[in-house]
A = this chain, B = another copy of it.
Amino acid sequence: MEILSTPSLVVDADIVRRNLKRMADFGAAHKINIRPHTKTHKSQFIGRLQIENGCQGLTVAKVGEAKVMSQVSDDLLLAYPALDPVRANAAAQLARTNTLRVAVDSEYAARVLSDAAKLAGSTLGMLVDLDVGLHRTGVQSPQLALELARAISKLPNLRLDGLFCYPGQVWDKPDHQAESLKKVDALLQETLDLWRRDGLSAQIVSGGSTPSALQSNLVRQYTEIRPGTYVFNDLNTVRGGFCNIEDCAARIHATVISTAVPNQVVLDSGSKTLTSDRLIPQPDAGHGYIVEYPHAVIRRLSEEHAQVEFSSGSRRPELGERVTIIPNHICPCVNLQDELWWRESDGSIRPIRVDARGKLS
């Protein structure tokens, strides 16, 4: 590993394969399609692995990511209300050659996308985004979901494909997950009943997220789920109780660059590497898990420095020593790297491009 400069992000190939297989097996057992969110890895290479592992399409957040992933799959979901002219026109263009669906929560977005698709001569699939408890995006009731579905079904160059939700709130309450998911189930059922009575149908009901993925059979309406983080996992998914340390495939390799201050070492993995994202279940628990020094706390980050606290008298790593870190939240860390390092169990290692890094629009 000494060939790598630090900080670098190294991915364990076997753990990735195991994580992909676990999700594929779950999907097969419960007849739920897996449409992974590629925001976690942002790489065509890993997108292809997902498709090879039985995923029938991919999810993206931005149109720039959709363009990148259109090289990997021709069945894409843009899980974002792409209602500004730049995104809407790019989405409509892409829909000329790919199956592209967009999740929207407003008639405004549907109209903009309809106009763009008309101009491009394409058809965009539409999923109605229903808020099931996170209160971030999504129409606020089954009745409003019905009204939006009706509006979409009347707009040219749009195809009403179904329902969309993101039960992200289960992050905060892992113990109440089953209960939360049953509420999601009830809301979706109520919405679909309204649609049916109105003569509207939902070919797709898309939900999920990594924490709820392996219980998503509790939401009987789901036809597909969109887990992202599961491919690598991170300290959030470990501390949330959704996986183990051994399931974390991606680690930051960092170097000790200062030991001048007592009971502290400084690593070269600051917020420009680990991000300032806090640990969701324990916001004040530090900025990642140092595998070789599990009791050390990454207490403070500046852009290029991680200040790691050691209890008095405990063994500190030495100057120049390398350590490996499981970050709080892996997805934005990947976005800070131009390439990941893919390591096979035989020790061989090679760079993987982060093709969709920095795609903001």
Contact = CB atoms under 8 A, between A and B. Distances in A.
B83 A320 contact: yes
A114 interface: no
A1 interface: no
A131 B303 contact: no
Interface residues of A, number: 63
A140 interface: yes
Interface string A125-161: 0000101000111111000000000000000000000
A140 B338 CA distance: 37
A257 B81 contact: yes
Contacts of A275: 271, 275-276
Instruction: Tell me how many chains of this kind the complex includes.
Output: 2
B137 A258 contact: yes
A303 B257 contact: no
B261 A137 contact: yes
Nearest to A139: B260
Residue of A136, A277, A300 ringed by the most chain B CB atoms within 10 A:
A136
Contacts of A264: 135
B261 A304 contact: no
A19 interface: no
A108 B332 CA distance: 33
A358 interface: yes
A136 B105 CA distance: 46
B335 A272 contact: yes
A331 interface: yes
A97 to B, nearest CB: 21
A101 interface: no
B332 A358 contact: no
Interface in A300-336: 300, 302-305, 307, 319-320, 331-332, 335-336
27 contacts: A2-B85, A5-B87, A39-B304, A62-B304, A81-B257, A84-B255, A105-B260, A106-B258, A106-B319, A109-B319, A112-B320, A131-B261, A136-B258, A136-B302, A137-B257, A137-B258, A137-B261, A137-B305, A138-B260, A139-B260, A140-B260, A268-B361, A273-B360, A303-B331, A336-B336, A337-B358, A337-B360
